[in-house]
């Protein structure tokens, strides 16, 4: 009985400490680097990848986040979707507007859809004209909107944005996605160019690689909410547990995926061992045939922990 009496206050203190730590982490992002090397890249580029902001602001008008982007000195900012929260009664574009206006003065920006942008588009009876206003914000800030479309960057890079059907987000035993699905939406991957694919869910890395993505950029899983040493992310927003692709840099046969841990939260407003993340991707020129040692070095990257190979 005495042991149980002591256990309850100890558990309460532990829970309170966890909540305080989570509040701290949610407001303190980190900037981490991933390196990707390819013979298709003709000169070094710096890409900043932002995903899953979900209306979060770091400082007034997202001043701290925007300053971090400036400090990274990117050639291009890539947004992986879900800058807003599309839930009845909570939907707003105010944080998205301030972010886009701030990024417009730094460098060119490409924007790919997440599941929340697609809700705005597909459920207009719920969200009214928000999707139209979202499109107008992109236009006003000269953002390249990649909704099942592509844009060429220089003479060696193509960036494509894939809209993923809702069934791939909500089926608990997730549907298989094939390369043919991506081809139907985007056509063939670039030939001779380094192909970057903005694809919000990291579950389908094999399909992205088979389609021809040299680098897929994903998010959606918020790093797994809680991250544990060796085990990685614990839980996705869809209540899937211990998936290996919640966050990190992955490589198979010279094709890469970076799963960003995101910047905000929604519904499950917890982060533990899982600070919000700005990803700086360094694209480096490489020889067409690299040694095994070079591939191993690039797979390790810098700053961004690797959770394993493709699924």
Residue 28 has pLDDT above 90, yes or no: yes
- Do the bridges between strand 144-146 and strand 109-112 make them parallel or antiparallel, or are there none, so unpaired? parallel
pTM for the structure as a whole: 0.90
What count of Cα atoms within 13 Å lies in the side-chain half-sphere of residue 239?
4
Of the listed ranges 1-5, 17-21, 64-68, 245-249, the one predicted with least confidence: 1-5
Is the CB of residue 230 less than 8 Å from the CB of residue 193?
Answer: no
Mean pLDDT of 287-293: 57
Mean pLDDT of 189-202: 97
pLDDT at 33: 97
Of the listed ranges 167-176, 212-221, 234-243, the one predicted with least confidence: 167-176
């Amino acid at each position: 009985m005495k042991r149980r009496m002591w256990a309850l206050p100890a558990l309460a203190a532990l829970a309170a400490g966890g909540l305080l730590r989570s509040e701290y982490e949610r407001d303190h992002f980190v900037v981490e680097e991933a390196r990707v090397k390819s013979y298709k890249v003709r000169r070094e580029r710096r890409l900043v990848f932002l995903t899953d902001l979900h209306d979060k602001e770091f400082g007034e008008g997202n001043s701290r986040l925007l300053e971090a982007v400036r400090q990274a000195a990117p050639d291009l900012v890539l947004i992986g979707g879900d800058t807003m929260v599309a839930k009845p009664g909570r939907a707003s574009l105010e944080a998205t507007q301030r972010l886009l206006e701030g990024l417009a003065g730094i460098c060119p920006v490409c924007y790919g859809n997440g599941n929340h942008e697609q809700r705005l588009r597909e459920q207009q009876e719920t969200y009214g004209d928000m999707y139209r206003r979202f499109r107008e914000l992109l236009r006003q800030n000269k953002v390249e909107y990649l909704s099942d479309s592509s844009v060429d960057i220089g003479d060696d890079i193509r960036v494509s944005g894939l809209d993923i059907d809702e069934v791939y987000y909500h089926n608990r035993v997730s549907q298989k996605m094939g390369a043919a699905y991506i081809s139907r939406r985007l056509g063939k991957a670039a030939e001779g160019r380094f192909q970057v694919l903005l694809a919000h869910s990291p579950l389908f890395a094999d399909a992205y690689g088979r389609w021809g993505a040299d680098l897929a950029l994903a998010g959606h899983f918020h790093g797994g909410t809680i991250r544990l040493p060796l085990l990685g992310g614990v839980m996705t927003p869809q209540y899937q547990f211990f998936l290996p692709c919640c966050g990190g840099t992955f490589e198979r046969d010279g094709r890469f995926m970076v799963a960003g841990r995101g910047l905000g939260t929604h519904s499950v407003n917890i982060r533990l061992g899982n600070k919000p993340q700005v990803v700086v991707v360094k694209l480096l020129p490489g020889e067409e045939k690299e040694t095994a040692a070079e591939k191993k070095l690039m797979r390790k990257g810098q700053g961004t922990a690797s959770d394993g190979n493709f699924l």
